[in-house]
A and B are shown apart, each in its own frame.
Chain A
Amino acid sequence: MTATPSSAPPASPEPVTPSVPPRIELRGISKRFAATQALEDVSLDLLPGEIHGLVGENGAGKSTLVKILAGVHQPDSGTIRLDGEATQIHGPAHSRSLGIAVVHQEPRLFPDLTVAENVFIGHAPSGRLGSIDWGATRRLAEGLFRELDVQVDVGAPVRGLSMADQQLIEIAKSLSLEARVLILDEPTASLSAHEVERLFTIVRRLRDRGVSVLFVSHRLDEVFALCDRATVFRDGRHVVTMPTRDLTTADLVRHMVGRTVSLFPKVETPIGDVLLEVSGLTKVGEFRDVGFSVRAGEIVGFAGLVGAGRTEVARVLFGIDQRDRGQILLGGVPVSFASPSAAMHAGIAYLPEDRHQEGLVQDFTIAQNVTLPILPRLFPRLLTRISAERKVAHEFTEQLSVRMTGVDQLVGSLSGGNQQKVVLAKWLASRPRILILDEPTRGIDIGAKVEVHRIISELAASGLGIVLISSDLPEVLAMSDRILVFHEGKITAEIPRSQATQERVMFAATGSATGDELAVAPPAAGARGDGGLDG
Chain B
Amino acid sequence: MAETGVIATQGALRTRGSVLTSFARQRELSLAAIMVVLGALVSIVAPQFLTISNLTAVAALASIYAVASVGEALVVITRNIDLSVEAMIGVVAYCVASILERHVLDAPAAIVLGIGIGLVLGMANGVIVALLRVPSIVATLGTLSIFRGLDYVIAGSHQVPLAGLPPGFTDPARTNLLGVLPEFVVIALVVVVLGTIVLRSTRFGRQVYAVGSNPEAAAILGIPARLIEFSAFSVCGLLAGVAGVMWVMFFGTINGTAGTGIVLSIVAAVVVGGVSTLGGSGTIAGAALGALFLGLTANALPLVGLSQFWLQAIYGLVILVAVSVDAVILRRLQRATAERRAR
Give chain A's interface residues, CB within 8 Å of chain B. 34-35, 318-320, 339-342, 344, 350, 352, 357-364, 368, 372-373, 375-376, 379, 382-386, 403, 405, 409-410, 412-413, 415-416
Give chain B's interface residues, CB within 8 Å of chain A. 6-7, 10-11, 14, 17-18, 21, 197, 201-203, 205-207, 209-210, 213-214, 216-223, 280-281, 333, 336-338, 340-343
Of the candidates B7, B18, B197, B221, which one forms a contact with A373 in the assembled complex, judged by CB atoms under 8 Å apart?
Answer: B221
> With A362-B213, A362-B214, A403-B10 known to touch, is A368 a contact of B206 (CB < 8 Å)?
yes
| B2 (CB) vs chain A CBs: closest residue | A447
| Least Cβ–Cβ distance between A18 and chain B, in angstroms | 49
Residues of A within 8 A of B336 (CB): 413
Say whether A34 contacts B217, CB under 8 Å: no
Say whether A360 contacts B214, CB under 8 Å: yes
14 contacts between A and B (CB under 8 A): A318-B220, A341-B221, A352-B220, A357-B216, A360-B217, A361-B218, A363-B209, A364-B209, A372-B206, A383-B197, A383-B202, A384-B202, A405-B14, A413-B17
> With A340-B222, A375-B203, A413-B14 known to touch, is A358 a contact of B217 (CB < 8 Å)?
yes
Say whether A358 contacts B216, CB under 8 Å: yes
| B282 (CB) vs chain A CBs: closest residue | A363
Say whether B221 contacts A413, CB under 8 Å: no
Residues of B within 8 A of A379 (CB): 203
Residues of A within 8 A of B281 (CB): 363
Q: How far is the CA of A340 from the CA of B220 in the complex (A)?
A: 6
| Least Cβ–Cβ distance between B221 and chain A, in angstroms | 5
Residues of A within 8 A of B205 (CB): 384
Residues of B within 8 A of A376 (CB): 203
Q: How far is the CA of A409 from the CA of B7 in the complex (A)?
A: 15
- Contacts A320-B220, A340-B219, A357-B217 known; list 19 others, CB within 8 Å: A35-B342, A319-B222, A342-B222, A357-B216, A358-B214, A359-B220, A360-B217, A361-B209, A361-B214, A361-B218, A363-B209, A363-B280, A363-B281, A373-B221, A382-B203, A385-B201, A403-B6, A410-B21, A416-B341
Residues of A within 8 A of B342 (CB): 34-35
| Least Cβ–Cβ distance between A421 and chain B, in angstroms | 14
| Least Cβ–Cβ distance between A249 and chain B, in angstroms | 39
Residues of A within 8 A of B197 (CB): 383
Q: How far is the CA of A410 from the CA of B17 in the complex (A)?
A: 11
Residues of B within 8 A of A361 (CB): 209-210, 213-214, 217-218, 280
Say whether B21 contacts A413, CB under 8 Å: yes
Residues of B within 8 A of A360 (CB): 214, 217
| B7 (CB) vs chain A CBs: closest residue | A403
Say whether A363 contacts B222, CB under 8 Å: no
Say whether A344 contacts B222, CB under 8 Å: yes
Residues of A within 8 A of B14 (CB): 405, 409, 413
Q: How far is the CA of A318 from the CA of B201 in the complex (A)?
A: 29
> With A382-B203, A384-B202 known to touch, is A359 a contact of B340 (CB < 8 Å)?
no
Q: How far is the CA of A393 from the CA of B336 in the complex (A)?
A: 25
Q: How far is the CA of A403 from the CA of B11 in the complex (A)?
A: 11
> With A384-B203, A403-B7, A413-B340 known to touch, is A358 a contact of B213 (CB < 8 Å)?
no
Residues of A within 8 A of B210 (CB): 361, 364, 372
Residues of B within 8 A of A358 (CB): 214, 216-217, 219-220
| Least Cβ–Cβ distance between B329 and chain A, in angstroms | 13
Say whether B207 contacts A375, CB under 8 Å: yes
Say whether B222 contacts A341, CB under 8 Å: yes
| Least Cβ–Cβ distance between B279 and chain A, in angstroms | 9
| Least Cβ–Cβ distance between A344 and chain B, in angstroms | 6
Of the candidates A340, A409, A410, A415, which one forms a contact with B343 in the assembled complex, judged by CB atoms under 8 Å apart?
Answer: A415
Q: How far is the CA of A373 from the CA of B220 in the complex (A)?
A: 9
| Least Cβ–Cβ distance between A431 and chain B, in angstroms | 15
| A352 (CB) vs chain B CBs: closest residue | B220
Q: How far is the CA of A256 from the CA of B17 in the complex (A)?
A: 42
Say whether B206 contacts A384, CB under 8 Å: yes
| A375 (CB) vs chain B CBs: closest residue | B203
Say whether B21 contacts A340, CB under 8 Å: no
| A368 (CB) vs chain B CBs: closest residue | B206
| Least Cβ–Cβ distance between B93 and chain A, in angstroms | 32
Say whether B221 contacts A340, CB under 8 Å: yes
> Which 7 A-B pairs have CB atoms at the shortest separation, nearest pair first?
A341-B222, A34-B342, A340-B222, A363-B213, A358-B216, A361-B214, A361-B213
Q: How far is the CA of A234 from the CA of B336 in the complex (A)?
A: 32
| A443 (CB) vs chain B CBs: closest residue | B341
Say whether A415 contacts B10, CB under 8 Å: yes
* Residue in B6, B205, B217, B219 with the greatest tally of chain A CB atoms within 10 Å: B217
Say whether A320 contacts B219, CB under 8 Å: yes
| Least Cβ–Cβ distance between B204 and chain A, in angstroms | 8
Of the candidates A364, A384, A412, which one forms a contact with B337 in the assembled complex, judged by CB atoms under 8 Å apart?
Answer: A412
| B338 (CB) vs chain A CBs: closest residue | A34
Say whether A415 contacts B206, CB under 8 Å: no
Of the candidates B202, B214, B220, which one forms a contact with A350 in the assembled complex, judged by CB atoms under 8 Å apart?
Answer: B220
Q: How far is the CA of A376 from the CA of B17 in the complex (A)?
A: 33
Residues of A within 8 A of B221 (CB): 340-341, 344, 372-373
Residues of A within 8 A of B338 (CB): 34
Say whether B220 contacts A383, CB under 8 Å: no
Of the candidates B202, B217, B223, B341, which one forms a contact with A415 in the assembled complex, judged by CB atoms under 8 Å apart?
Answer: B341
Q: How far is the CA of A372 from the CA of B206 in the complex (A)?
A: 8
Residues of A within 8 A of B201 (CB): 383-386
Residues of A within 8 A of B21 (CB): 410, 413
| Least Cβ–Cβ distance between B13 and chain A, in angstroms | 9
| Least Cβ–Cβ distance between A342 and chain B, in angstroms | 7
Residues of B within 8 A of A359 (CB): 217, 220
Q: How far is the CA of A342 from the CA of B222 in the complex (A)?
A: 8
| Least Cβ–Cβ distance between A430 and chain B, in angstroms | 9
| Least Cβ–Cβ distance between A438 and chain B, in angstroms | 11
| Least Cβ–Cβ distance between A112 and chain B, in angstroms | 18
Q: How far is the CA of A404 from the CA of B285 in the complex (A)?
A: 29
Q: How far is the CA of A372 from the CA of B221 in the complex (A)?
A: 8
Residues of B within 8 A of A409 (CB): 14
Residues of B within 8 A of A382 (CB): 202-203
Residues of B within 8 A of A341 (CB): 221-222
* Residue in A344, A350, A362 with the greatest tally of chain B CB atoms within 10 Å: A362
Residues of B within 8 A of A410 (CB): 21
Say whether A413 contacts B337, CB under 8 Å: yes
* Residue in B17, B218, B342 with the greatest tally of chain A CB atoms within 10 Å: B342
| Least Cβ–Cβ distance between B334 and chain A, in angstroms | 8
Q: How far is the CA of A476 from the CA of B217 in the complex (A)?
A: 26
Residues of A within 8 A of B209 (CB): 361, 363-364
Q: How far is the CA of A162 from the CA of B206 in the complex (A)?
A: 43
Q: How far is the CA of A339 from the CA of B210 in the complex (A)?
A: 17
Q: How far is the CA of A35 from the CA of B6 in the complex (A)?
A: 14
| Least Cβ–Cβ distance between B181 and chain A, in angstroms | 28
| Least Cβ–Cβ distance between B219 and chain A, in angstroms | 7
Say whether B222 contacts A339, CB under 8 Å: yes
Residues of B within 8 A of A373 (CB): 221-222
| Least Cβ–Cβ distance between A124 and chain B, in angstroms | 32
| A382 (CB) vs chain B CBs: closest residue | B202
Q: How far is the CA of A524 from the CA of B342 in the complex (A)?
A: 42
Residues of B within 8 A of A368 (CB): 206
Q: How far is the CA of A383 from the CA of B200 in the complex (A)?
A: 9
Q: How far is the CA of A359 from the CA of B222 in the complex (A)?
A: 12
| A338 (CB) vs chain B CBs: closest residue | B222
Residues of B within 8 A of A386 (CB): 201
| B203 (CB) vs chain A CBs: closest residue | A375
Q: How far is the CA of A413 from the CA of B214 in the complex (A)?
A: 16
Q: How far is the CA of A222 from the CA of B102 in the complex (A)?
A: 84
Residues of A within 8 A of B11 (CB): 405
Residues of A within 8 A of B207 (CB): 375
| Least Cβ–Cβ distance between B207 and chain A, in angstroms | 7
| Least Cβ–Cβ distance between B252 and chain A, in angstroms | 39
Residues of B within 8 A of A318 (CB): 220
